[in-house]
Structure 1
Amino acid sequence: MLLSYIAKALRSRVMGSELQTKYQRLAQEYAKLRSHVDVLKKAVTEEKSLRESLQESVREKALSLRKHVQENESLEFRNQQLSKRVEMLQDDLGSPLSRRKKKVGGGAGGPNAVDGVVGTVSGDVQTQELAAKIAQNEQLHLKVSELAHESQKSAAALQTTRAKLESDMSSFSEEMEQKEREHKTEVEAMTNNRAMLEAKLAKYSSELKSLKNTLQREQELSGRLRESSPIGLVGSERQPETGKFFTCRVR
């Protein structure tokens, strides 16, 4: 009877020590896994913020590209209008000169000298008016040419800017697609890893709870054994010199 109580007490103490050690180890592993899950959550949040930032940048570049395209189309339209205006002015400039040549040729062959003199005076006035109109038209033509040249330069600059923006947009879209593919792969890996860690956490939580209950039952059993034992245990550790586990005395 005495040996049975002693054996139960020893087993209780040994199992309690092993359970305590296993409990502490699982608690440490559980804490590490919880920390890893927090790191994964933070990484997912940062990736989401980066993706939203890239999408906003794409929208801004698209708006800028549309704006430059509209400006380019507007300048092209103005350039066409100015070109038509130059052609009209050139036609207007050529018509009076033709009429003047015809009038001068007809007056030289007339039989009446008085009519010739009057025609000459009238022709001088018309020549002065025509010269003034020619000078005015030349200035206007020069101004239109300058405007057309500036318009062409602006259109060329806008075309270059548009081509650069389209190239940048294409490169940015490719980079965005690559980032999205990488992000998707990382998110899938993180999701799978998180699911695995959560499963481990659930398993360890269950084991910790079970070990805690077992440890509590062992402690209760050890207490009941000490209360019901007919002897009092003085020591329970093995003595290396004698090989004995404990000493006891009878109550």
Structure 2
Amino acid sequence: MAADLQSKYQKLASEYAKLRAQIPVLKKAVLDEQTKENHFKEAIKEKEQSIRKFEQEIDSLVFRNQQLTKRVEILQSELVDAEAKDKKSKNKHNDVSLSTSPRSSAIGEELKQKIEENERLHKQVYNSDLEYKQKVADLQDRLTMLEQESAQHQQVLQTTQQNSKVQLEKLQNEKAMLEIKLHEQEKLSKEAKLRAQTAEQQLKMIQTDLTSKLTQATKTIRDKLPFNDTKFRDLNALNVPTHDRKHQLKAKELCGQATNLVQDLVQGLANYYTYVEQRTKIYPADGQIEPYSEVNKKFCQYLHENMQYLRPVEQSFSAFYNSLKEDALTTLETAMGLQEFAHHFTNFVAYSNKIMPYQLLSLEEECSLSSCPEALAAKNKELYSVVQKLCAVLNNIQTYVAVIAQQSTVSCDHPKTNQAIFFEQLSGGLELFHTVLKELSTTYNAKVTLEHQLPTAPSKLKTTDECVMSALVHLQKCAGKFANFMRTNLEFFCATAGYRTRGSSISTNESMEGPKSSPVVGALRQKSANYMASLHRNLG
């Protein structure tokens, strides 16, 4: 802390030195600007003297011009009078006229010279006036510009001086505050050193005490304790863990909801397979007028066996739910009942993959009929593609169901950190399952609409198609509910169950992956509980 204060103080001192170094530069700039301003003022005085000199010259020229103008006017009036007199006495006084003509010509010559001189003086006065006005305007503009520059420099100087003063006061205040803090930190440092010395003495005493206790405990364990089942994680996994009862109740509640959803889904699949079997026996051949093809015979035979694969799926999940106890921990590691459910679900998916080729061949057989229009054949091809998608989605779901169920096996080598990813992928698979079923329902509805427009379509086919559509709509709703159930509770499924075993805690260490519980703990606990109950009955 003292080092930080020292560095801050040094930084403030360097900033203060920079500002002090800038002040002489600013003063020199101000002096230079003042010198320039004085020089410009002297230049303006010289220009004003020149202007006054020009004004005097102009005044003298104007006065001279006025005299010449009056002289010209007098000469013009004399000339006019002379010409008038000459006209009257032209015939009578030729001698007199001859004697005055030289005088008139002399007067005219003088008048002409005066007029030219007057014109020249007028031009000179006009040019001098223009030059005077131009110089006055230039000097006025230069004076204005210099005054503006001087005002700007003065403003910059005042602003800089004010900022420097504020900065200097701020730095001085910060310096004072830092000095106060430095004193406080030095005081705290001394107190901390005293506390550290006291704590060090106490630590030595505690270490001595703990060393003696550890030696005694080690001797006791070595001499008195023959077996420690909490030392090894695999052995400790056989101990009954303590757990969060609310978490267990929530898990059982969600498993109950999932059981209902599985039952609805199984019922919807059973109805769909049954109605598809009935439809296959009606179209394209009804077995009475036209015999069934070998493909449709096999297809109907396999469809009739659907409950052999669907019923175990429902029963195994119901059995798993019934095996859950409210007072016993349930995690993927202890949920052994999921293995049977995954086994039967895998059999059902294999059954679905087995009937898919026959369903596709049956669609091709419908397209090969002469009464099948091109539009209906195109819809059959679309249905062909959707059925393939449905089988692919079921295979994807089966993969993650099997992986989740495998977590309760001893041979499982998947880390616990991947369990959240498995549930996320399963939720995504159920979302895709719902989407594909919606597409299947839409495509099948378009197909039966075109089929019902055929003149050869029997009424029994129309009734069976409506049943198939009803089953598909119900199946789509069930899949939507299941997908929404997984999406809503995905956070709970991905969360780690809060439990601990003897000698371990709720750890998140990635190398140990937290506490471990064996799949057989639940069964062993139930046996122990039954044994204790029988002892209680015998004693009673």
Normalised by the size of structure 1, how large is the TM-score? 0.57
* 1:186 is aligned to 2:163: yes
The 5 A counterparts of 1:46-195 are 46-103=25-82, 116-193=93-170, 195=172
Shift of 1:151: 0.7
1:16 is matched with which residue? none
What CA distance in whole angstroms lies between the structure 1 residues aligned with 2:99 and 2:176? 110
Contact 2:76 2:111 in 1 (8 A): no
Q: Which moved more, 1:141-150 or 1:188-197?
A: 188-197
State how far apart, in whole Å, the 2-side matches of 1:108 and 1:156 are.
50
Q: What letter is aligned with 1:93?
A: V
Question: Residues 82 and 104 of structure 2 are in contact (CA less than 8 Å); yes or no, is this contact kept in structure 1?
Answer: no
Q: Looking at CA atoms only, which structure, 1 or 2, has the larger radius of gyration?
A: 2
Higher helix share: 1
Matched to 1:36, the amino acid is E
Report Cα offsets for 1:198-223 as digits up to 9, x if no partner: 8799x69xx9xxxxxxxxxxxxxxxx
Task: Tell me how far apart the structure 2 counterparts of residues 194 and 126 of structure 1 sit (CA, whole Å).
Answer: 100
Equivalence map 1:23-62=2 (5 Å)? 31-62=10-41
Give the aligned residue type for 1:153.
L
**What does the per-residue CA deviation read over 1:62-106, in whole Å, with 9 as the maximum and x for residues that have no partner?**
233333333333323322322222221111112123234445656
Query: Match of 2:225?
Result: none
- Mapped contact 1:107–1:119 kept (Cα < 8 A): no
Instruction: Check conservation: 1:93, 1:134, Cα contact below 8 A.
Output: yes
- Cα shift at 1:28: 5.5
Look up the equivalent residue of 1:148 and give its one-letter code.
Answer: V
Which amino acid is 1:41 matched to? Answer: R
Contact 1:79–1:151 under 8 Å retained in 2: yes
Q: Distance in 2 between matches of 1:36 and 1:177?
A: 24
- Equivalent-residue separation in structure 1 for 2:109 and 2:154 (angstroms): 66
Question: Once the 2 structures are TM-superposed, how far is the Cα of residue 137 of structure 1 from its aligned partner?
Answer: 1.4
Q: Residues 154-177 of structure 1: CA distance to partner in whole angstroms, max 9, x if unpaired?
A: 022123213312432442343234
8 Å contact from structure 1 (residues 86, 141) kept in 2: yes
Unaligned runs of 5+ in 2: 184-206, 209-540
Q: For 1:178, what is the secondary structure of its paired residue?
A: helix
Would the alpha carbon gap of residues 178 and 27 (structure 1) be closer, same or farther in structure 2, given more than 3 Å must change? Answer: closer
1:41, CA displacement in angstroms?
1.7
CA distance in 2 between partners of 1:142 and 1:104 (Å) = 25
In the alignment, residue 97 of structure 2 is paired with which amino acid? T
8 A Cα contact 2:9 2:175, kept in partner: no
Q: Distance in 1 between matches of 2:98 and 2:175?
A: 110
With 100-109 and 183-192 compared, the bigger mean Cα shift is at 100-109
* CA 180–163 in structure 1, closer or farther in 2 if over 3 Å, else same: same
Paired residues of 1:40 and 1:194 also in contact (CA < 8 A): no
8 Å contact 1:72–1:155 — kept in the other structure? yes
1:37–1:200 Cα change, 3 Å: farther
Q: Any stretches of 5+ residues in structure 1 without a counterpart?
A: 1-20, 208-242, 245-251
Q: Pairwise mapping of residues 220-239 of structure 1 onto structure 2 (< 5 A)?
A: none
How many angstroms apart in 2 are the aligned matches of 1:63 and 1:198? 49
Which letter maps to 1:189?
V
Q: Percent identity?
A: 12
**Quick one: structure 1 residues 67 and 197, their matched pair in 2 at CA, closer, same or farther if it must change by over 3 Å?**
farther
Deviation at 1:144, TM superposition (A): 0.9
Aligned to 1:232: none
Q: Distance in 2 between matches of 1:194 and 1:60?
A: 39
* 1:221 equivalent in structure 2: none
Give me the whole-angstrom Cα distance separating, in 1, the residues matched to 2:171 and 2:24: 14
Task: Give the Å deviation of 1:185.
Answer: 0.7
Distance in 2 separating the partners of 1:155 and 1:42: 49
Structure 1 residue 138, shift from structure 2 partner: 2.5
Change (3 A) 1:193 1:118: farther
* CA drift at 1:194: 6.4
Aligned residue in 2 for 1:12: none
Please tell me whether the aligned partners of residues 12 and 171 of structure 2 are also in contact (alpha carbons under 8 angstroms): no
